[in-house]
Amino acid sequence: MRKKVLITGGSRGIGEAAARVLAGEGYDLFLVCRNSEEKIKRLADELEQSYGICCQTAICDVSDAAQVETMLRQAGEIHVLINNAAISYVGLLTDMTLERWHQVMNTNLNSLFYLCRLVVPQMVRRREGKIINVSSVWGNVGASMEVAYSTTKGGVNSFTRALARELAPSNVQVNAVAFGVIDTDMNVCFSKEDMEALREEIPADRIGTAMEAGEMIRQIINAPSYMTGQIITMDGGWM
């Protein structure tokens, strides 16, 4: 029986890239997104035809605990959980509404709790499982004008370390990747000039690609089981 990977935010960006890389590895997939139903179904059909795997999809707002519970009943056994779904807010903290603050917190951080508390028991029962949380360099150092996003990613890092210690005796590994600037739709709020200025700050002299991010996630999944509780930074030498 092939192992199944659940990816949140699976219709685009890093989530889509991870799906493509892992389909090539022979994993069955369960791809989750909030509202891009047509796009995620097209991706699933493409991956099934190209790699001969089973690729299920679900529309779910991972910021909603009840929706997550319903979705996971559909998903069944999960061997690898990739918590990738995230949203951002760029602007002054004092201009941010309470509603937007809670939306960022629920999507980026609370969703990890909603998913892990239901997936972890089956991993513990099998004494096998991998959880990979997609973080950011802003979770390590913080970013001006992105206080909420930075706060959630710092929380993701702490969540990762703590849960890894909790699950290590059960042979379940929990790690995170703190990505730098990756070429995804999350950057559409920045101008061409802003992105060029960012590029000039990066020693590698370029923006990372989503497929590179997906490949890093694959490598973490395939890492020795002794690697757990790590926040791996991939940012072209930026931070």
- What are the strands, taking DSSP E only, across the chain? 4-8, 28-33, 55-59, 80-83, 129-136, 172-179, 231-234
Amino acid, res. 3: K
Look up 149 and say whether it is catalytic: yes
Beta-carbon contacts of residue 194 (< 8 Å; ≥ 6 apart): none
The token pair at 187 is: 């950057």
Residue tagged active-site, from 27, 51, 89, 149: 149
Nearest to 80 by CA among 108, 122, 110: 122
Instruction: Decide: 114 and 65 in contact? Cβ < 8 Å.
Output: yes
Amino acid, res. 108: N
Nearest to 123 by CA among 15, 236, 228, 196: 228
Q: Can you spell out the DSSP letters for 42-103?
A: HHHHHHHHHH---EEEEE--TT-HHHHHHHHHHH---SEEEE-------S-GGG--HHHHHH
The token pair at 145 is: 């004008």
Nearest to 105 by CA among 64, 151, 145, 60: 151
What CA–CA distance (Å, rounded) separates 34 from 82? 15
Catalytic annotation, residues: 149
